[in-house]
Structure 1
């Protein structure tokens, strides 16, 4: 019998993009948007359960406390533990791992995502979006050897013959290797062949990330209405019939305010825009923005359907809301990612 997979990620987009590769191979996948939503997700019939702790950018003491809470919820659950980490090693990786992994548990560590051009060489993360190699072992707080990884085949080869007792620590690349091991014969076509659901207009694209990678993707996007939201504040919205496709982007305001305050304002802005425009497809870029938006919408559980593009998961609220949610981490994707996504958005 195949064991359930438990994924613990420190932000929502990470939970979704690591879980999406399992959904693309036919697994039933549920994501808990917050630790408080995890017990309900564990009670579902999903074969893969992911939880977003929301601890990447907060204080380490809080990250430890939340990781301990998640570890308690997972205690006694039979399955495979996958600690999803940022492929550029941001966040409190070592502190959270110390709470989640039993002392002496064998670790399989690899943050590479070869299909997105991010590799591991000489014990460090290199490649797309990485200006200077980032050593891996210091971020984990323990001596760990990570083999050079240039391809998906390298990741497949790193998985041990038996996964019993092992804790996997990595990003979407290692998640895909695990999904391929557990679901070798996918029941549905892979997302490379087609999007898991028709992505239709009207569509609202909420860009909360200020990462330069996302900035380049926006620059490549032409002939799409874009409304700035200074410090997250709500712009004047067009009528639903006037905006079958609309981008709202958080921008700096005239005064500098804390990032958390701007992010909360932006979440309220997008929640109001979602209610006003009633989009069939809602795209959220940036983990904090996506998490805050779903909290404002009262959505705590997502059923993951697959990927529209590499690193661009597609999901639906488990509550039965009819819109399709598309998410992307701010630091992922080629410059034409948003262009390709917009081309997928068929008219009703």
Structure 2
């Protein structure tokens, strides 16, 4: 059996904010962690020195066939000895069935749970609950073109699945590890109940005792549990090294970032309203869907967002995100020291428009809000649209006044 404390991880995500969330969860101080934003048709040849490599396949809104093909192509870049982690959306959005089935076609058994306890997203009897409400009776899919599945098994249909209840997840013996080992040998898909971080830790620990043909599939919660298991006492990525200067010795604060909000989540309106000293440009989604929106030169701290009062057509989501990204790219005279990109599709479209294909994750400001750096030195914060409390953007702006520790991925090899 592998010792996952030393096993590198090859992870794939379907959007950029999820990829960043996964990278920061799995990384540890003193190791090399990279995020590659790769076209779904041609994954970038990955650097073999990365301890944790995360590919954003950008398949959230693609067809199921394209999503499955992206998984197949990505697996050709997996190194022998890698543990595979498939980042899935904690609300079960995207091409879940197609991507998980693609993994099983390549001989992988799957241990899967979208549970994310810190966001009150739990799995009981194979059903995803949001603060106790079943997903399919909530409004969490209000911006989607489909209806939410009634269970995780329904989301994976027609693939056969088996659900492991909390009694097995919490069993003190080897039954869970044995079930995972059997799944690795047979290509079985196991849906795991989980309500707490301790449940996720139990799943991650049992998975490390299974062969490498067991792939883990989960939200950032399961990625964090696998990261805790892998680190085994090693500090997480972003933890200051001994001798790090005190805040009073840090370089001067950077100017305010350019904040780009592309999510339709209602909480984002409150988050923007909590900011002080920012000029907010609310851009109509129909204008963005037609292309970049001309803006005057930006002379004050700025938020660009999709107008939250305008009606949204779900089928126009990609065009709106692309228009918002092109609007950012057109601001050639304004080069912010940092970008804050809210919404996974928005983040990917902006980086594509700016020609950025690689990120070095630095630290996590709050759950889901990940600070990274581009090869040219620009700081980029990504965050899923539904994450964070009312003061999320205030927290992010405040954190950007304190430079993070140097990323191990940016240090030259000895």
Q: Using structure 2 for the length normalisation, give the TM-score.
A: 0.73
Instruction: Give the structure 1 partner of residue 8 of structure 2.
Output: 4
Instruction: Give the structure 1 partner of residue 264 of structure 2.
Output: 210
Instruction: Give the structure 2 partner of residue 303 of structure 1.
Output: 360
Matches within 5 A, 1:317-332: 317=374, 320-332=375-387
Matched residue of 2:339: which SS?
strand
Change (3 A) 1:12 1:79: same
Preserved CA contact (<8 Å) 1:25 1:180: no
Q: Which whole-Å deviations, capped at 9, do the CAs of 1:127-176 have from their partners, x for residues lacking one? A: 25966355212212332324442221111112315142211010101001
Q: How much does 1:39 deviate?
A: 3.7
TM-align CA RMSD: 3.1
Q: Which whole-Å deviations, capped at 9, do the CAs of 1:206-253 have from their partners, x for residues lacking one? A: 1111122323322443442211222334352344xx32x211112377
Instruction: Give the structure 2 partner of residue 137 of structure 1.
Output: 153
Separation in structure 2 between the aligned mates of residue 254 and residue 168 of structure 1, nearest angstrom? 38
Match of 2:342 among 285, 298, 314: 285
Query: Residue 185 in 1 paired to residue 241 in 2?
Result: no
Query: Residue 64 in 1 paired to residue 68 in 2?
Result: yes
Q: How many residues align?
A: 339
Separation in structure 1 between the aligned mates of residue 395 and residue 132 of structure 2, nearest angstrom? 20
Separation in structure 1 between the aligned mates of residue 109 and residue 372 of structure 2, nearest angstrom? 32
Q: How much does 1:20 deviate?
A: 1.1
Change (3 A) 1:100 1:205: same
Preserved CA contact (<8 Å) 2:88 2:218: yes
Instruction: Give the structure 1 partner of residue 178 of structure 2.
Output: none
Match of 2:33 among 19, 29, 32: 29
Instruction: Give the structure 1 partner of residue 293 of structure 2.
Output: 234
Separation in structure 1 between the aligned mates of residue 273 and residue 397 of structure 2, nearest angstrom? 14
Q: Which has the larger radius of gyration?
A: 2
Change (3 A) 1:4 1:33: same
Matched residue of 1:211: which SS?
coil
Separation in structure 2 between the aligned mates of residue 171 and residue 78 of structure 1, nearest angstrom? 23
Question: Which stretches in structure 1 are left out of the alignment for 5+ residues?
Answer: none
Instruction: Give the structure 1 partner of residue 196 of structure 2.
Output: 151
